[in-house]
Structure 1
Amino acid sequence: MRTTDIVRSATRNAFRSKLRTTLTVLSLFVGAFTLTLTTALGAGVSDYVTKQVSSLSTGDVLLVSPAASTDTTEGPNEYDPNGRQQSSQANPLGAGTLLNDDDLAAIAAIDGVDRVDPIRQVSVDWIAAPGSDDPAKFELSVNPTSSIGRSDLAAGEQLDQQADEAQLILPEDYLDALGFASADEAIGQSVELGYTAADRTEQVAEATIVGVARASLLASGAGANQQLTAEIADAQAVPGQPDAYAIAVAYLTGSGADGAVTDADVTVVKAGLADADLAGQTVEDQLGVIQTVINGIIGVLTAFSIVALVAASFGIVNTLLMSVQERTREIGLMKAMGMSNGRVFGLFSLEAVVIGFLGAGLGALAAIGLGSAISSVAAAGPLADLPGLTLLLFDPVSVAVVILVIMLVAFLSGVLPARRAARQDPIESLRYE
């Protein structure tokens, strides 16, 4: 029997018991459907995070904070008037300890650090477009870490941290509220920012819009350059209180081509920070935490898919064992006519592969159809404010890998029944009733 004849025969024999084969295909369908969706979810989220990293990160900065304390001694620490202060709010990178001027000097002295800028938290009450005695005012928050990277701009340019002019990057959803017809129209316009000073008086700062930022999962609020931040922070500073900062931004010098900062440069600076009892993180490090959580969720969903495939593999074994038993005389006749053990093994193995291909192919197609519809609805609804996010991204290579893996599982499940068929004695098989 030629190879093409074996393939045709295996395809035909797979459906001798239509009900039994259909149920086995459906069990594989569930596994393939779930696995394809989870793979697409992981690809979609990873693609979005990668895009955000490339748009938000300049690659040459580290967020620096005091290293997390590992002190295991009992009782409180002795007060040091020249030591670090404790924050009343949680520190994003540390344990509530604030940096002081000595820390800034230590950071600046590390090889590979170009300059250090402390991040000063400011509180803005409202934003309004000038030109009216009683303008409409809207709440606004300023992203304190807007100096560490770039905004995902819809129009305009990035903040100039060295400029003497107060600059603002406006979130895109403020355009209509402030009376701007488009993002391009807002560029170069002035806005007023109202805030409360340390003496509880209301103050107003004026800033120029240099960019309009799209919404992002990884950055929120308006962006402000050092000039604008310093103006508000100085007014909100409590007289007599020593300077302390939750985070500082260390700008690095690079040793790569054209002065690019390399991974080795970052590693060297991080080691220097550790020696000074400080810790540094890049934007990529912070996003890595997000990615780890996402991968954990996807891993749990993938585990359910694997459980479904394991259950389906037992179904394949059962289907083929019953097929071997029902076709005992047929197997004996084929072997009596000269069909080798290898050909018999191949015939039944191919039946398992055919079942695996059908279940995997149908499951993948159903997942692509339903997933594409879900992505379209989500992009137009709940995720409309996150441009560039494709919730379920179906990569042809990933889909093909899912199908091939399930076909391999089906083949391995069919090995035992196929071996049993191949080892049957033709004389005994022909006598089987």
Structure 2
Amino acid sequence: MRTADVIGNAARNAFRSRLRTTLTVLSLFVGAFTLTLTTALGAGVNEYVATQVATVSTGDALLVAPAVASETTEGPTPFEADGRQQATQPNPLGSGTLLNAADLETMRGLDGVDLVEPVRMITLDWVAADGADEDARFELDINPSSSLGRSDLVAGDQLDNGTDAAQVVLQEDYVAALGFDDAESAIGETVELGYTDAAQAEQTIEAEVAGIARTSLFAAGAGTNESLTDAVTEAQAIPGQPEAYVLAVAHLDGTGPDGAVTDQDVDDVKALLADADLTGQTVEDQLGVIQTVINGIIGVLSAFSVIALLAASFGIVNTLLMSVQERTREIGLMKAMGMSDGRVFSLFSLEAVVIGFLGSAIGAAVAIGLGTVISSALAAGPLADLPGLTILLFDPVNVLLVIVVIMLVAFLSGVLPARRAARQDPIDSLRYE
């Protein structure tokens, strides 16, 4: 029997008992459906995170903060007049203390560090269009990570830290609220910012709108350039109190091709920072924790898919064992007519593969159809504030991999029945009643 004939017979024989085969296909369908959705969820979230990282970081900067104390001492901590100040709340790197001027000088003296920019926290009370009435003012939060100098922009340019003019990057929500027709029309316009100085007096400052940013993982507030930050910081500084900083951004010198910063460069600077009782993280490091949690959740969901596939594999074994028993005389006749053991084994193994293909292909197709609808609904509803996020991203390679894996599971499940069929004695099989 030719290979093409074996494949054709296997496809036809798979449906000799339609009800039994259909139930087995449905059990594989559940596993394929769930596994396709979980892989799409992982691909969608990880792709969004990677896009956000690329938006705000080129991998050549470290966020630096005091190291988190790993040892505890008995009794109260001794006071040091020149020591670090305590933060009102932990910074994004988990430290409860602030950087001081000595820390900045230490960072600037480290090998591999090109530039150190302190991140200063300023508080703005409101923003309004230039000349607007008091009832047209809106609260405004400042994103300290704007010191990185990059935002996920809808329109305009990144903040210019080399200019003396005060600049601000606003979020999309403020465009219509401030009376602008669209994001493009807001670029270059002047807005008025209100804040409270150290004497608790209300002050205002004008700033140019440099850009309009999308809402994202990092755009938790407006961005300000150094000129605006310096002006507000000076007004809000308490006389006689030394400056302290939540974080600092250390830009690195690269030793790679064309001055690119390599992983080794980052690791070397991290080690030097640790020796100075400081800790440094890239944006990728910070999001690595988020990705680990996400991958853990997806792993748990995938485990349920694997359990469903294991249950389905027993169904395949049962289906083919019953098929072998029902076709005992047919197997004996085929072997008596010269069909080899290998051909018999291939015939029953391919039946298992056909069942696996049907279950996986139907499950993947339904998952893609239903998942696309769900993803679109979420993007227009609960996830509308995260533009660019496709919560279920169906990568053709991942879908194909799911189908191949399930077909492999089906093939392995069919090995035992196929071997039993191949080892049958033709004389005994022909006598089987």
Aligned counterparts of 1:54 and 1:133: Cα–Cα separation in 2: 39
Amino acid at match of 1:371: G
Superposed, 1:194-205 pairs within 5 Å as 194-205=194-205
Q: Secondary structure at the match of 2:158?
A: coil
Q: CA RMSD in A?
A: 1.5
Give the superposition deviation at 1:242. 2.5
Give the superposition deviation at 1:133. 4.7
Do the aligned residues in 2 keep the contact of 1:129 with 1:135 (CA within 8 Å)? no
Do the aligned residues in 1 keep the contact of 2:40 with 2:395 (CA within 8 Å)? yes
Alignment partner, residue 146 of structure 2:
146
Superposed, 1:399-418 pairs within 5 Å as 399-418=399-418
Aligned counterparts of 1:21 and 1:382: Cα–Cα separation in 2: 41
Aligned counterparts of 2:344 and 2:174: Cα–Cα separation in 1: 71
Do the aligned residues in 2 keep the contact of 1:154 with 1:183 (CA within 8 Å)? yes
Amino acid at match of 1:164: D
Amino acid at match of 1:123: T
Q: Indicate the larger mover: 418-427 or 66-75.
A: 66-75
Q: Secondary structure at the match of 2:145?
A: coil
Aligned counterparts of 2:261 and 2:29: Cα–Cα separation in 1: 48
Alignment partner, residue 132 of structure 1:
132
Give the superposition deviation at 1:243. 1.9
Alignment partner, residue 170 of structure 1:
170
Q: Secondary structure at the match of 1:123?
A: coil
Do the aligned residues in 2 keep the contact of 1:214 with 1:387 (CA within 8 Å)? yes
Do the aligned residues in 1 keep the contact of 2:65 with 2:95 (CA within 8 Å)? no
Give the superposition deviation at 1:187. 0.8
Alignment partner, residue 9 of structure 1:
9
Q: Secondary structure at the match of 1:30?
A: helix
Superposed, 1:23-422 pairs within 5 Å as 23-134=23-134, 136-422=136-422
Q: Secondary structure at the match of 2:147?
A: coil
Aligned counterparts of 2:3 and 2:230: Cα–Cα separation in 1: 78
Q: Secondary structure at the match of 2:264?
A: helix
Aligned counterparts of 1:253 and 1:293: Cα–Cα separation in 2: 32
Give the superposition deviation at 1:134. 3.5
Q: Secondary structure at the match of 1:204?
A: strand
Q: TM-score, normalised by structure 2?
A: 0.97
Percent of aligned positions that are identical: 71
Aligned counterparts of 1:383 and 1:365: Cα–Cα separation in 2: 24
Give the superposition deviation at 1:229. 1.4
Amino acid at match of 1:379: A
Do the aligned residues in 2 keep the contact of 1:66 with 1:94 (CA within 8 Å)? no
Give the superposition deviation at 1:61. 1.6
Give the superposition deviation at 1:59. 2.6
Going from structure 1 to structure 2, the CA distance change for 1:406 and 1:34 (only over 3 Å counts) comes to same
Going from structure 1 to structure 2, the CA distance change for 1:60 and 1:322 (only over 3 Å counts) comes to same
Q: Secondary structure at the match of 1:383?
A: coil
Aligned counterparts of 2:432 and 2:364: Cα–Cα separation in 1: 41
Aligned counterparts of 1:361 and 1:276: Cα–Cα separation in 2: 57
Structure 2: where are the runs of 5+ without partners?
A: none
Aligned residues: 433
1:188-239 CA-to-partner distances (Å, cap 9, x unmatched) read 1111111122222111121111111111123211011112112222222222
Aligned counterparts of 1:76 and 1:18: Cα–Cα separation in 2: 77
